[in-house]
Structure 1
Amino acid sequence: MKKLTAPMQIAEELAAKIANRELHPNEHLVESAIAKEFNTSRAPVREALLMLEKDRLVTRVPHHGFVVKNFSKEEIHQLYDATFRLEEIALEKAMNNIVEEDLTRLEEILNKQKQAIEDEDIVSYYNHNEEFHTTLFSIAQNEFLKEMHQSLRRSSRPLSLLNMGQGNNLSLSFEEHCQQFNALKNKDKEIGLKAIRDQEKRSLKTLDIFYIN
């Protein structure tokens, strides 16, 4: 496992706080305060904030510094459009490459997702959800697609956690992943693509309630 540098560790912890809404949209991120919190100088903090800016989790405001990104409704729709289109491509490619060992791995992840639902653990479910997608993109065997998707998923992490916490979205997400799994197993592209598009529509319908503009 690659060792995290100090800026990477700070970026990861700040990203988690943004995702968990401990840091709120438009909240000013004071470099000196963050440096004090992590017992470091401002240099690694600035580098961490630049990483988060690249992941579209923070925004730089002239003469003010960095603030937590406040997505507009249009940006969310564009972000999800790009994300789910990549997932459609990956599903089709994975369908051509998948072997029994891959199916076993995906099934193990689905079992962990199911357990997270039973435990009502949204963060655990989210982590296994990401594992499902990462595994699927690995099966697709295209590193460029995988890297683009991971970048988009980092950007949407706060949105995903917000979405998953509403109503019965965890169970619906699990059902959609099961449909994708069965589609891969049975080489049924139409069923797999429908599951992805259903997930996209459901996610956006939920987020549209919170992001009016």
Structure 2
Amino acid sequence: MPPKKEKTATELIRSTLAEQIVRGEIAPGVILEEASLARRFSVSRTPVREAIRQLEAIGFVVARPHRGAVVPQFTPERLTEMFDVMAELEAMCARLAATASSPEAKDRLVNACEVCRKAADDGDIELYRETNDLFHDAIYAASGNGFLAEVTVGVRNRLAPFRRAQFGHSGRIVQSIEEHALITEAIVNGEAEVAAQRAADHLRVVRKSVGAVAPLLQSPEG
């Protein structure tokens, strides 16, 4: 089990603001003022400024010269589009992992799946969030396609706050572990299309779970 990563001030500010934006606690149109945030988190403006810059990089704030950064409007339709793309990328990674990965890569994937399960068994949500990323990283690496892995991580970073928020939904971690196990089984057995379908389905369940914790972002189909 990897040790839990200690968050820097910037990471804490970024993750806190991102989760509040996802949940609607910080509404669209709100200006993120460095001075007030620095007071709130009891830090200097430097980590606040860096946190805002990182949020801007994933589309969670829009920078406006000399007027501060503002929270944009997220729509359910836009979020669904993003998750649909993520689902296809994950499916491609899983398909390639099932056909192209080495026995060693598959062993690393199995181990990553077990590490996730251990974090879940311990009831450590924050550690599970970290090990969940490591599990998906193992799939990307097993695909053997570095460019695909790079693109997939880029889209994942855009969706990271939403993916993290899903674990606030009751029972989601247990369900996530079961989905990981099914994906791992298909990859280890070389069942490319099964692995791809399970990986895509996994991301679409994540999308629905976001709607459960952030009703304003519930998917249009319910």
TM-score normalised according to structure 2 size: 0.77
Residue ranges of structure 2 left out of the alignment (5+ in a row):
1-7
Does residue 144 of structure 1 match 2:144? no
1:101 is aligned, of 101, 104, 126, to 104
Q: In the TM superposition, what is the alpha-carbon distance from 1:155 to its structure 2 partner? A: 2.1
Give me the whole-angstrom Cα distance separating, in 1, the residues matched to 2:82 and 2:19.
19
**SS in structure 2 at match of 1:57:** coil
Match of 1:24 in 2: 26
Instruction: Calculate percent identity across the aligned residue pairs.
Output: 25
Question: Are 1:39 and 2:40 an aligned pair?
Answer: no
Q: Single out whichever of 30-39 and 111-120 deviates more from structure 2.
A: 30-39
- Residue 176 of structure 1 and its aligned partner are, at CA, apart by 1.2
Q: Quick one: which of 178, 182, 189 aligns to 2:181?
A: 178
Does the aligned pair in 1 maintain the 2:35–2:45 contact within 8 Å?
no
Determine the structure 2 residue equivalent to 1:159.
Answer: 162
Higher relative contact order at CA 8 Å, sep ≥6: structure 1 or structure 2? 2
Per the alignment, residue 49 of structure 1 pairs with 52
Distance 1:158 1:48 in 2: 13
1:59 aligns with 2:62: yes
Deviation track 1:173-196 (CA, whole Å, cap 9, x = no partner) reads 111111111111111123212212
Which stretch of structure 1 is more off in the superposition, 94-103 or 59-68?
A: 59-68
1:14 maps to which residue? 13
Aligned partners of 1:201 and 1:51: how far apart in 2? 26
For residue 69 of structure 2, give the secondary structure of its aligned residue in structure 1: strand
In structure 1, give the amino acid aligned to 2:204.
K
SS at match of 2:20: coil
For residues 74 and 169 of structure 2, the distance between their equivalents in structure 1, rounded to whole angstroms, comes to 18
Match 2:126 to one of 107, 123, 128: 123
